[in-house]
Structure 1
């Protein structure tokens, strides 16, 4: 899990995950992410590759485009890892 948190230490990667989750089809290609992120296409592609290699994204090629979507199990594991018990005083 520490490796995942290291990957997510880059703020742009958290934004990428949020933007993909916010898409109506829950998927996006690099062309849909460059403008909202304010980053170049090669930079966004690099972040997508890192997230994919970390197991947080799935990808599917459609013609010349690659569409990315979240891996639900990995996102749920992150949520669970971040869930802290409530403290009572």
Structure 2
């Protein structure tokens, strides 16, 4: 019984430490500036593949920089749900 309890506690501690590590890594990643990022970098955003990344670049070149996340609705195929999934990963400085 002691060995089982020890194994359980070890697994629990390992799981907890991995969760904390993941949270720290997520916070350490810099936001992506949609006004300067290239297609490859934009494609890393959730819900944005290569074709939407290209559409973001085309939109900003044609109609100017994006002021905030909600401005991304100017791009066909990007709606409120997509923006909500990536809002905390975006930056808009030029």
TM-score range, shorter chain: 0.3 to 0.5
Give TM-score, length-normalised by structure 2: 0.32
The higher radius of gyration belongs to 2
Give TM-score, length-normalised by structure 1: 0.34
Greater length-normalized contact order (CA 8 Å, ≥ 6 residues apart) = 2
Higher strand share: 1
Higher helix share: 2
